[in-house]
């Protein structure tokens, strides 16, 4: 059965439907060698290309939705490849056949914490879209003297370069003097928004960690660089949050071993990856 091209491309993880419509308008999409236009449809047997690259066409029922929770360390880039050879968030993820991991939003290189990955482009797009108002919560350490009037302005709203912005919640969470910790919540994913909001008040963010995305909390036992996959009940709760139907199967490996053993296994995997990266950097320097 045929589907609208922008829907197929969004499901493949190339971006939101609106972005795909822009690609169509820019004459960057073709079907069986012919330039496609907005409103065209595509069938699984046809050859779909974007900028000359063939895109695998899969029907919605053929996509097995998987979601990973990843504990991003500082220093990793949210990109698939880096020309300078710097580490990326995709380096440590498990390899999969017939699908690819799609990042749900981004964290900048100096931000740590919870980053979600999925194989379902539609789920990723809905979770990032402002209309669903998915909350993001951050733990932030702020350098400077904080006044109550500042906190009021940050919840009432301030004007940034790309429009008005605000925190829906601000809660003090520790520290004293000029190094205080706060937990802040907002429902947008604009570039460096948390940092820019504090900077609008003359404050400097010295540490930033995402601790929650929607109803998913960063697991306390998950080490930096480690990942864990959602099982079916958690996955379907996430899908329901953005108006998607439930999945009936999962590829998550249900580990029956005690949680302590699972955490030890994850830490071993993280150390192994770090040793491999160190070895590769040494080889590069010798060249």
Q: pLDDT by residue (tens digit) across 24-52?
A: 999 999 999 999 999 899 998 899 999 99
How many CB atoms neighbour CB 137 within 10 A? 21
Of the candidate CATH numbers 3.30.70.270, 2.40.340.10, 3.40.250.10, 3.10.290.10, the domain formed by 3-62 belongs to: 3.10.290.10
pLDDT at residue 54 in the model = 92
Of the candidate CATH numbers 3.30.70.380, 3.30.1330.10, 3.90.950.20, 3.30.2350.10, the domain formed by 67-129+217-286 belongs to: 3.30.2350.10
DSSP class of 195: H
Please check whether residue 196 is in contact with residue 232, taking contact to mean a CB–CB distance below 8 angstroms.
no
pLDDT at residue 29 in the model = 95
Q: Report how far residue 199's alpha carbon sits from residue 240's, in angstroms, rounded to the nearest whole number.
A: 36
pLDDT at residue 200 in the model = 95
Please check whether residue 186 is in contact with residue 193, taking contact to mean a CB–CB distance below 8 angstroms.
yes
Name 74's Cβ contacts closer than 8 Å, sequence gap at least 6.
109, 110, 111, 112
Phi, psi values for residue 139, rounded to 5°? -95, 125
pLDDT at residue 275 in the model = 63
pLDDT at residue 255 in the model = 45
CATH of domain 135-213: 3.30.2350.10
3-27: b or e for each residue (b if 16 or more CB lie within 10 Å)? ebbbbbbbbbbbbbbeebbebbeee
pLDDT at residue 254 in the model = 47
Domain boundaries, the chain: 3-62, 67-129+217-286, 135-213
State the catalytic residues: 108
Of 130, 123, 112, 126, the C-alpha closest to 187 is 130
Of 164, 236, 152, the C-alpha closest to 193 is 164
Phi, psi values for residue 281, rounded to 5°? -65, -40
Phi, psi values for residue 243, rounded to 5°? 80, 25
What residue ranges of the chain have pLDDT lower than 50? 254-259
DSSP class of 97: S
Q: pLDDT by residue (tens digit) across 203-236?
A: 999 999 999 999 999 999 999 999 999 999 999 9
Q: Where are the alpha helices (DSSP H) in 98-222?
A: 121-128, 148-156, 193-199
Residue 120, both tokens: 């379902």
């Amino acid at each position: 059965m045929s589907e609208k091209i922008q829907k197929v491309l969004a499901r493949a993880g190339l971006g939101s439907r609106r972005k795909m419509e822009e690609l169509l308008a820019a004459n960057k999409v073709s079907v069986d060698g012919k330039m496609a236009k907005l409103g065209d449809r595509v069938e699984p047997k046809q050859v779909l290309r974007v900028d000359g690259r063939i895109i695998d066409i899969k029907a919605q029922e053929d996509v097995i939705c998987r979601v990973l929770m990843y504990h991003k360390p500082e220093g990793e880039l949210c990109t698939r490849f880096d020309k300078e050879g710097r580490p990326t968030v995709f380096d440590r993820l498990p390899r999969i056949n017939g699908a690819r991991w799609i990042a749900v939003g981004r964290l900048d290189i100096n931000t740590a914490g919870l980053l979600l990955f999925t194989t379902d482009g539609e789920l990723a797009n809905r979770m990032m879209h402002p209309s669903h108002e998915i909350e993001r919560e951050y733990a932030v350490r702020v350098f400077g003297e904080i006044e109550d009037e500042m906190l009021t302005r940050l919840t009432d709203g301030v004007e940034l370069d790309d429009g008005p912005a605000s925190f829906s919640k601000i809660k003090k969470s520790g520290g004293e003097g000029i190094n205080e910790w706060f937990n802040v919540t907002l429902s947008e994913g604009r570039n460096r928004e948390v940092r820019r909001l504090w900077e609008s008040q003359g404050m400097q963010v010295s540490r930033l960690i995402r601790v929650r995305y929607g109803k998913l909390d960063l697991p306390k036992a998950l080490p930096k660089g480690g990942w864990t996959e959602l099982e079916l009940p958690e996955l379907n709760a996430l899908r329901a949050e953005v108006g998607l139907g439930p999945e009936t199967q999962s590829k998550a490996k249900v580990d029956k071993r005690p949680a302590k053993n699972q955490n030890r296994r994850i830490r071993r995997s993280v150390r192994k990856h770090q040793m491999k990266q160190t070895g590769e950097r040494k080889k590069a320097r010798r060249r």
